[in-house]
């Protein structure tokens, strides 16, 4: 009875409802359970390009292109399976253009499967999507740039040009709000030549105007005071149609947008909701760009602070290492001196020759240790201050490496290690500094003896690769392997792989740093790798010669090499 009464008092018809649906700026349709259209409104039919009567009774595959029809049917199936409304974006191409829709699908008569009706409402958002993608691409392009000094406004201007293509304005001015000074400052104009603010870049307001702009109520004359101020800036002459919009971010007044249209245009852009959305996105981009400057400045200060902290840590570690390295030999030397003084004081001079030799050897050994530490420290200072120059000449690199290696055999044998030397070339002339090559090889062999096991081989190999114009020199030992996370760290200044107080071997941690620097000064590279149960340091040097191809002979001074070995191996 109630339903009949309600029907009898309706003052509209189905035709009235369809007339309303035809006036909506949305596509509206209904399909039966088999996917055949039982209704479509005017805009929906126009978007398909067929009269309504040619669409009714047809499926999407009958009236749409295959890709679009496939998407429509797919979301219809999701709608049925999920038993809930579907909201999504659908994309297709028409006449070479990208078409985007915001779609809402729903089911009517869900409780009656036989009479289920699939309904849908779609809003074309191609324009919004196009501008949005341009905005995002431009923003990403800008934010990916590492140099904050780039022209920030250039990227924003390209965004405004993209917007101009859509809404066809004459010019757009963006002013940012200074809350403390209660004024808008010109930030950017798409075309400064026709800007309303080219002679004056700021507009002052009072709290009353600010409240009116930020009020959620609808004001017909919200911008009247601002319009009057702009008119005054133009000497009471506004030649263009002017649209004023204010932008809020996080419920705070952020900026003012002034859009100029030519007077000969019939009407300005009317879709305020779309325009507001785009302008808000532009202002968010401005905020992000401005924040990037602040963030970059903070990051720069943070990096400087971290670098200073790291430098202080390196200095602390250096002093800890050096003080330890100095203290040990100095204490030993002082102990020997005190012991000898004690003998003298007690008139006990009956030391046999062997004791004297033992004491002298200890004094010499620890003096060498101090000399080695001083030399390495001086070399490090020279390298850091670019005071080190290579004394390049054309030398037989095979001969240099072999001579240095052979001079270490006695030391290695004393420590129960066996030196093995191998090369695939008997002679190879290249430009190098023999003194630096000696230091590199001696340090690597010294480390190999320190960290290898007794009764194992230390293998020094030279492999010449004429194709790449490089010679590879490797030092391999069988002992403790170097973990992957330590392989770069060990070449840092004053670095060791073991804790200062529990390490098994002496050393300041400077040696490998200098080795790396000397190799790089030769335009080479050094790296370390674990091969089965062995550790291998390998460095390569480029093969080239300098000057008039004059070849220098390697002059072997046995005393000099012996002295260098004594110094390098003093902490073993």
> What ranges do the domains of the chain cover?
2-124, 130-293, 305-383, 386-568
Helices (H), 49-190: 52-55, 60-63, 66-82, 126-143, 152-167
Domain 2-124 fold is Beta-Lactamase (3.30.450)
Query: Which helix (H) or strand (E) is 204 found in, with range?
Result: strand 202-204
Name the nearest CA neighbour of 362 among 332, 319, 339. Answer: 332
Q: β-pairing, 417-423 with 456-465?
A: parallel
Q: Which two tokens stand for residue 445?
A: 């062999």
Helices (H), 255-396: 272-345, 353-384
Distance CA 403, CA 395 (A): 13
Helices (H), 168-223: 207-214
Q: pLDDT per residue over 352-407, tens digit each?
A: 778 778 888 888 878 877 887 787 777 777 777 676 778 899 999 999 999 889 98
Least confident segment among 116-130, 410-424, 467-481, 516-530: 116-130
**CATH class of this structure's domain 130-293:** alpha beta
Distance CA 176, CA 183 (A): 8
Output 501-509 pairs: Cβ under 8 A, ≥24 positions apart.
505/450, 505/451, 505/571, 505/572, 506/325, 506/328, 506/369, 506/571, 507/325, 507/450, 507/571, 508/321, 508/322, 508/325, 508/373, 508/376, 508/377, 509/321
Burial class (CB in 10 A: 0-12, 13-18, 19+), 326: middle
Q: Count CB-CB contacts under 10 A for residue 156.
A: 21
Q: Which two tokens stand for residue 237?
A: 């002459």
The reply to whether 130-293 shares the fold of 2-124 is yes
pLDDT higher than threshold 60 for residue 36? yes
Distance CA 265, CA 267 (A): 6
pLDDT class of 202 with cuts at 50, 70, 90: confident
Region 524-549: mean pLDDT is: 89
The CATH number of the domain covering residues in 386-568: 3.30.565.10
In Å, what is the CA distance from 23 to each residue of 17, 18, 20, 103, 120?
10, 9, 5, 18, 16
Q: What DSSP designation does 200 have? A: -
Q: pLDDT per residue over 213-264, tens digit each?
A: 888 776 667 888 888 888 887 765 666 788 888 988 888 899 998 888 887 6
pLDDT class of 503 with cuts at 50, 70, 90: very low
pLDDT class of 121 with cuts at 50, 70, 90: very high
Region 489-513: mean pLDDT is: 56
- pLDDT score at 148: 46
Cβ atoms of 166 and 130 closer than 8 Å: yes
Helices (H), 346-433: 353-384, 397-407, 409-414
- pLDDT score at 237: 62
Degrees, nearest 5: CA angle 438-394-384: 50
Q: Which two tokens stand for residue 127?
A: 């324009």
Contacts of 154 (CB under 8 A, 6+ apart): none
Q: Which residues pair with 252 in a beta bridge?
A: 249
Q: With b meaning 16 or more CB within 10 Å and e meaning fewer, what string describes 493-510?
A: bbbbeeeeeeeeebbbbb
Q: Count CB-CB contacts under 10 A for residue 568.
A: 24
Output 489-492 pairs: Cβ under 8 A, ≥24 positions apart.
490/528, 491/515, 491/516, 491/526
Distance CA 23, CA 454 (A): 94
The CATH number of the domain covering residues in 305-383: 1.10.287.130
Q: What DSSP designation does 483 have? A: P
pLDDT higher than threshold 70 for residue 4? no
Cβ atoms of 169 and 262 closer than 8 Å: no
Distance CA 169, CA 188 (A): 15
Q: pLDDT per residue over 255-294, tens digit each?
A: 998 888 887 665 566 667 767 777 888 888 788 777 766 6
């Amino acid at each position: 009875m109630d339903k009949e009464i309600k029907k009898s008092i309706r003052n509209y018809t189905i035709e009235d409802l369809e007339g309303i649906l035809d006036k909506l700026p949305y596509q509206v349709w209904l399909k039966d359970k088999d996917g055949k259209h039982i209704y479509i409104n005017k805009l929906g039919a126009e978007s398909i390009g067929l009269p309504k009567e040619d669409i009714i009774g047809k499926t999407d595959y009958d009236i749409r292109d295959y890709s679009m029809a496939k998407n429509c049917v797919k979301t219809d199936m999701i709608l049925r399976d999920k038993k809930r409304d579907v909201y999504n974006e659908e994309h297709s191409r028409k006449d070479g253009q990208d078409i985007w829709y915001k779609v809402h699908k729903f089911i009517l008569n869900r409780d009656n499967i036989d009479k289920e009706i699939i309904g849908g409402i779609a809003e074309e958002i191609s324009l919004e999507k196009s501008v949005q993608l341009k905005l995002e691409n431009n923003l990403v392009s800008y934010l990916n740039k590492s140099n904050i000094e780039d022209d920030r406004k250039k990227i924003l201007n390209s965004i405004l040009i993209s917007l101009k293509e859509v809404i066809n304005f004459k010019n757009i001015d963006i002013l940012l709000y200074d809350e403390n000074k209660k004024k808008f400052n010109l930030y950017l104009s798409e075309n400064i030549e026709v800007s309303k603010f080219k002679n004056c870049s700021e507009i002052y307001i009072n709290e009353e105007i600010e409240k009116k702009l930020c009020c959620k109520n609808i004001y017909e004359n919200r911008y009247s005071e601002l319009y009057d101020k702009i008119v005054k800036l133009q000497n009471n002459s506004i030649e263009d149609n002017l649209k004023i919009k204010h932008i809020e971010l996080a419920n705070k007044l952020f900026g003012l947008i002034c859009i100029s249209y030519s007077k000969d245009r019939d009407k300005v852009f009317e879709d305020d909701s779309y325009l507001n959305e785009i302008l808000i996105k532009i202002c968010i981009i401005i905020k992000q760009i401005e924040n990037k400057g602040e963030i970059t400045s903070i990051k720069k200060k943070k990096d400087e602070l971290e670098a200073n902290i790291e430098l202080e840590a390196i200095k602390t570690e250096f002093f800890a290492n050096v003080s330890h390295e100095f203290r040990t030999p100095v204490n030993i030397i002082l102990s020997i001196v005190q012991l000898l003084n004690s003998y003298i004081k007690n008139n006990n001079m009956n030391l046999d020759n062997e004791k004297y030799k033992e004491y002298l050897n200890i004094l010499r050994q620890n003096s060498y240790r101090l000399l080695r530490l001083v030399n390495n420290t001086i070399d490090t200072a020279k390298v850091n201050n670019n005071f080190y120059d290579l004394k390049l000449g054309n030398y037989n690199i095979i001969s240099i490496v072999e001579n240095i290696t052979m001079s270490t055999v006695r030391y290695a044998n004393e420590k129960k290690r066996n030196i093995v030397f191998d090369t695939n070339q008997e002679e190879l002339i290249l430009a190098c500094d023999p003194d630096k090559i000696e230091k590199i090889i001696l340090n690597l062999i010294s480390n190999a003896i320190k960290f290898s096991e007794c009764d194992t081989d230390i293998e020094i190999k030279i492999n010449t690769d004429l194709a790449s114009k490089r010679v590879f020199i490797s030092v391999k030992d069988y002992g403790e392997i170097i973990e992957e996370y330590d392989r770069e760290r060990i070449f840092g200044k004053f670095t060791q792989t073991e804790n200062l107080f529990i390490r098994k071997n002496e050393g300041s941690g400077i040696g490998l740093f200098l080795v790396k620097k000397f190799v790089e000064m030769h335009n080479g590279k050094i790296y370390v790798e674990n091969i089965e149960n062995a550790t291998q340091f390998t460095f390569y040097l480029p093969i080239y010669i300098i000057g008039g191809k004059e070849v220098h002979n390697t002059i072997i001074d046995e005393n000099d090499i012996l002295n260098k070995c004594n110094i390098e191996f003093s902490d073993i």
